[in-house]
Copies of this chain bind each other. A is one copy, B any other.
Amino acid sequence: MTDQYNNTISRRSFLTNGAIAAGTIAVGGGVLGAFNLNSVRAADEVVQSWPLPYVQLDVEKAKELGYWGYMSSQCSYGAFDAVLSQLQEKVGHPYTSIPADMMKWGGTGGAGWATLCGALIGASTAINLVVGKDANTLVEELYKWYTTFPFPEYMPPAGKAGKAEGKLVTSACGSVLCHASVSDWCSVSKYRAEGKERSERCGRLTADVSAKTVQMLNAYHKKMFTPVLKNAESVGECMTCHGKGGTLENTRGKMDCIQCHDDVDTNNLLGHIKQQWNL
């Protein structure tokens, strides 16, 4: 935070004028009835303190919420709602002021672009809503788990499936990207990418991600969470040169490098360098 920020951004007056103590809830304007912009000015309001208060949630309920949230509004909404709606029910305000619909954009990895898996977009946001400085430790653990987990595990009760009944082929895709995750499952299962079975698979995957998220959040808030998973091997190898402090230091990230780049023989780095530089 710099002086420039304080000088130029009048929003800071929220934080300096309002007495926000850790563990207290900042309260809105108490507006009743029809919405009227003029009657709801922010001058006398303080911004919600963060992270929001957490209570232990139900893992099995998270699976159902994630699954049916997917069937209603895709993966990102499903995973976010699996956490949020339980907190709306158990805690109420301020969760009731946050609409799960705001995360719908994450469906199919971001408006259909198939970048970061939408279930992870929704789950990451849910985690960060209730976890402060340690949020990325949980998010990273979720991502590492995702890359190695053979989705889908969840199975709805017989006769109650949203898109397709029965057991589905599983695959661990090695990537957090929707594009790779779907392609890998289609390759293994032989189902079509826009078919009802693939959609069912993503619904069940959303249930699995939602459950894992709630398991981690419950453990973290009981001070029983310890990250245990490692990055893909290629990340450590490639980032020795390409990452922070490396000779090249020309990129960032923790996705498995060799899913998009050619594998490199670590016994022949000279050959790799020559190839990259056309020598």
Contact = CB atoms under 8 A, between A and B. Distances in A.
Interface in A89-143: 89-99, 101-116, 120-121, 124-125, 127-129, 132, 135-136, 139-140, 143
Given A14-B96, A176-B113, A68 B9 contact: yes
Contact of A35 (B24, B50, B178, B251): B24
Contacts of A50: 99, 101-102
Given A24-B33, A35-B23, A89-B11, A244 B193 contact: yes
A173 to B, nearest CB: 12
A166 interface: no
B183 A96 contact: no
Nearest to A112: B254
Contacts of A71: 2, 5
Nearest to A180: B251
Contacts of A72: 1, 5
Contacts of A108: 252-253
Given A96-B14, A111-B136, A128-B105, A64 B182 contact: no
Q: How many copies does the complex hold?
A: 2
A254 to B, nearest CB: 5
A155 to B, nearest CB: 14
A240 interface: no
A233 interface: no
Nearest to A8: B64
A108 to B, nearest CB: 6
A169 interface: no
Interface in A139-155: 139-140, 143
A132 to B, nearest CB: 8
A160 interface: yes
Interface string A243-260: 111000111111100001
Interface string A1-24: 110110011110010000000011
A258 B72 CA distance: 33
Given A24-B33, A45-B92, A110-B143, 13 more contacts: A4-B160, A10-B89, A26-B96, A37-B53, A37-B55, A45-B88, A97-B98, A105-B128, A110-B116, A114-B252, A183-B251, A186-B251, A187-B250
14 contacts: A2-B162, A8-B68, A14-B96, A25-B35, A28-B28, A28-B96, A41-B92, A42-B89, A50-B102, A111-B140, A115-B253, A179-B252, A194-B243, A194-B249
